């Protein structure tokens, strides 16, 4: 879906109200699909953040490596 420049708007207007309505409906479907996609991504990010927070409350083993140099 591309934005129309002045020439495109004039051309679309010359095609009549059916063409304008079709373009508006098409844009509305595109906008709804885009919003749905954004909401899905936000939900996935929120779920991942919540899972990370839940996991961080559990104690985890601490691994330590000591390097000792003898004289």
C-alpha distances in angstroms, 45 versus 37, 41, 48, 50, 56?
12, 6, 5, 9, 17
Within the chain, what is the greatest distance between any pair of CA atoms?
Answer: 92
Q: Are 1 and 32 a contacting pair, CB within 8 Å? A: no
What is the tens place of the pLDDT at every residue in 19-67? 999 999 998 999 999 999 999 998 988 888 777 666 666 667 778 777 7
**pTM listed for this prediction:** 0.54
């Amino acid at each position: 879906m591309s934005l129309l420049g002045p020439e495109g708007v004039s051309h679309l207007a010359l095609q009549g109200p059916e063409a304008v309505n079709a373009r508006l409906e098409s844009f509305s479907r595109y906008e709804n699909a885009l919003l749905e996609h954004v909401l899905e991504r936000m939900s996935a990010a929120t779920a991942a953040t919540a899972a990370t927070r839940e996991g961080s409350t559990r104690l985890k083993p601490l691994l330590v490596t000591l390097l000792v140099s003898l004289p």
